[in-house]
Chains A and B, each alone.
Chain A
Amino acid sequence: MNISLDRRQFIKLIAATGAIAQTACSRPPPETILPYVHMPERMLPGAPEYYATAFVQHGYAIGVLIESNMGRPIKIEGNPHHPASRGATNTFAQASILQLWDPDRSRSVRRDGIVSTWSEWLSAISSISVEAQKNRGAGLRILTGNITSPTLLAQLQQLKIQFPNLHWHTYEPLHNDNASAGATLAFGKPLDVIYRIERANVIVTLDADFLSHGPAATIYAREFAARRRPDHAAGMNRVYALECSPGLLGTVADHRIPLSPAELERAAWQLAELIEGNTINDAPNWLQQIALDLNRHRGESLIIAGPRLPPSLHALAHSLNERLNNSQHTIQYIAPVVPPQNASLQELVSAMSDGGVDTLFILNNNAVYQAPAALEFSAALKHVRCSIHAGFYVDETARQCQWHVPLAHTYEQWSDARAYDGTATIVQPLIAPLYGGTSPHEILNRLLGNESRSAYDTVRAYWRSLRSENFDAFWQSVLQRGVIADSAFPSQTVVARPVEKSRALNDASLTAIFAADPAVDDGEYSNNGWLQELPRPLSAMTWDNAALMSVATARRYNVNNGDIVELQHNGRRLQTPVWIVPGHADRAITLPLGYGRWAAGNSGNGVGFNAYALRPVDSSWFIDGIQLRKLGTRYSFALTQTQTDSADRKPVLHATLTELRAQPEFVRIDTEKNSGAGSLYPEYSYDNYKWGMTIDLSACIGCNACTIACQAENNIPVVGKNEVARGRHMHWIRVDHYFEGSKEDESAQKNPTVLYQPVPCMHCERAPCEEVCPVGATMHDSEGLNVQVYNRCVGTRFCSNNCPYKVRRFNFLQYADRERESLKAQRNPEVTVRQRGVMEKCTYCLQRITRGRIEAEKRGTPLRDGEIVTACQAVCPTQAIAFGNLNDGDSAVARAQHSSRNYTLLEELNTKPRTTYLAKISNPNASISAQLSKPEPRDA
Chain B
Amino acid sequence: MLEQLTTHARDAEQKNKRWSYASISDHIADIVLRKNFGWRWWLLLGISSAGTLIFFGAIAYLFSVGVGIWGIDIPVAWGFAIGNFVWWIGIGHAGTFISAVLLLLRQRWRTSINRFAEAMTLFAASIAGLFPILHLGRPWFFYWLLPYPDVMNVWPQWRSPLVWDFFAISTYITVSLLFWYVGLIPDLATLRDRAHGTRAQIIYGLFALGWRGDAIHWARFEQAYLLLAGLATPLVVSVHSIVSLDFAIGNTPGYHSTIFPPYFVAGALFSGFAMVLTLAIPLRHYFHLEQFITPVHLNNAAKVLLATGAIVTYGYASEIFMAFYSDDPYERYVAINRATGPYAPVYWTMLCCNVALPQLLWFKRVRHSIATLFAISLVINIGMWLERMMIVITSLHRDFLPSAWGMFWPTRWDWIIFFGSVALFVFLFLMFIRLLPAISIFEMRQLGHAAESSQ
Contact = CB atoms under 8 A, between A and B. Distances in A.
B72 interface: yes
Interface in B329-377: 329, 333
A643 B75 CA distance: 13
Contact of A772 (B73, B155, B162): B162
Contacts of B77: 797-798, 800-801, 810
B252 interface: yes
A793 B403 contact: no
A645 B402 CA distance: 7
Contacts of B412: 1
A644 B404 CA distance: 10
B67 A812 contact: yes
Contacts of B66: 811-814, 836-837
B65 A7 contact: yes
B333 A837 contact: no
Nearest to B412: A1
Nearest to B406: A727
Contacts of B78: 797, 801
Interface string A770-800: 1111111000000000000000111111101
Contacts of B400: 649, 804-806, 906, 909
Interface stretch (B16-24, B120-128, B136-144, B207-215): B136-144
A557 to B, nearest CB: 27
A736 interface: yes
Interface string B252-268: 10010000000000000
Contacts, number: 172
A728 B73 contact: yes
A345 B142 CA distance: 64
B92 to A, nearest CB: 22
Contacts of A838: 137-138
Nearest to B398: A643
A243 B255 CA distance: 46
B250 interface: yes
A795 B67 contact: yes
Contacts of B295: none
Determine which residue in A794, A813, A905, A909 has the highest number of CB atoms from chain B within 10 A of its CB, and name it. Answer: A794
Given A7-B65, A796-B162, A776 B403 contact: no
A768 interface: yes
A333 to B, nearest CB: 43
Contact of A795 (B71, B137, B407): B137
A649 B67 contact: no
A774 B402 contact: no
Contacts of A466: none
A812 to B, nearest CB: 3
Nearest to B396: A801
Interface in A625-642: 641-642
A3 B250 contact: no
A801 to B, nearest CB: 5
Nearest to B165: A774
A167 interface: no
Contact of A804 (B154, B156, B161, B399): B399
B161 A642 contact: no
Given A797-B137, A813-B65, A736 B160 contact: no
A794 B141 CA distance: 6
B405 interface: yes
A736 B403 CA distance: 6
Interface string B408-446: 000111000000000000000000000000000000000
A646 interface: yes
Contact of A738 (B145, B154, B402, B404): B402
B75 A800 contact: yes
A759 B401 CA distance: 10
Contacts of B69: 3
A1 B411 contact: yes
A303 interface: no
B106 to A, nearest CB: 41
B75 A727 contact: yes
A805 B404 contact: yes
A151 interface: no
Given A643-B405, A804-B401, A806-B399, A794 B75 contact: no
A222 to B, nearest CB: 26
Contacts of A644: 402-403
Contact of B68 (A793, A798, A800, A813): A813
Interface string A831-859: 00001111100000000000000000000
A727 B73 contact: yes
Contacts of A808: 74
Determine which residue in A1, A814, A839 has the highest number of CB atoms from chain B within 10 A of its CB, and name it. Answer: A1
A919 to B, nearest CB: 17
B161 A772 contact: yes
A812 B68 contact: yes
Contacts of A662: none
B403 A643 contact: yes
Interface residues of A, number: 59
A1 B142 CA distance: 28
Contact of A836 (B75, B137, B250): B137
Interface in A719-749: 723, 726-728, 734, 736-738
A802 B162 contact: no
B402 A775 contact: no
A647 interface: yes
Nearest to B250: A802
Contacts of A651: 401-403
Determine which residue in A728, A757, A795 has the highest number of CB atoms from chain B within 10 A of its CB, and name it. Answer: A795
B318 interface: no
A836 B406 CA distance: 22
B206 to A, nearest CB: 38
Given A726-B73, A727-B407, A776-B155, A794 B65 contact: no
A809 interface: yes
Contacts of B161: 772
Given A774-B156, A774-B163, A836-B66, A793 B137 contact: yes
B451 interface: no
Interface in B257-316: none
Contacts of B139: 794
B134 to A, nearest CB: 11
Nearest to A2: B412
Given A727-B74, A727-B75, A800-B77, A772 B250 contact: yes
A192 B280 CA distance: 88
B251 interface: yes
Nearest to B141: A794
Determine which residue in B137, B333, B413 has the highest number of CB atoms from chain A within 10 A of its CB, and name it. Answer: B137
A757 B159 CA distance: 32
B249 interface: yes
Contacts of A810: 74, 77, 137
A796 B136 contact: yes
Contacts of B221: none
B157 interface: yes
A31 interface: no
B324 interface: no
Nearest to A838: B137
Nearest to A651: B401
Nearest to A807: B404
A647 B65 contact: no
Nearest 9 pairs of A and B residues by beta carbon = A795-B137, A837-B137, A812-B68, A727-B73, A806-B404, A813-B68, A797-B77, A736-B403, A774-B162
20 contacts: A643-B402, A727-B74, A727-B76, A728-B73, A738-B403, A768-B251, A770-B157, A772-B250, A794-B138, A794-B144, A795-B136, A795-B137, A802-B252, A804-B251, A806-B400, A806-B404, A810-B74, A813-B65, A837-B67, A837-B136
Given A647-B402, A768-B250, 9 more contacts: A649-B400, A757-B403, A759-B401, A774-B160, A775-B154, A776-B156, A802-B250, A808-B74, A906-B401
Interface of B: 65-69, 71-78, 135-139, 141-142, 144-145, 152, 154-157, 159-163, 166, 246, 249-252, 255, 329, 333, 396, 399-407, 411-413
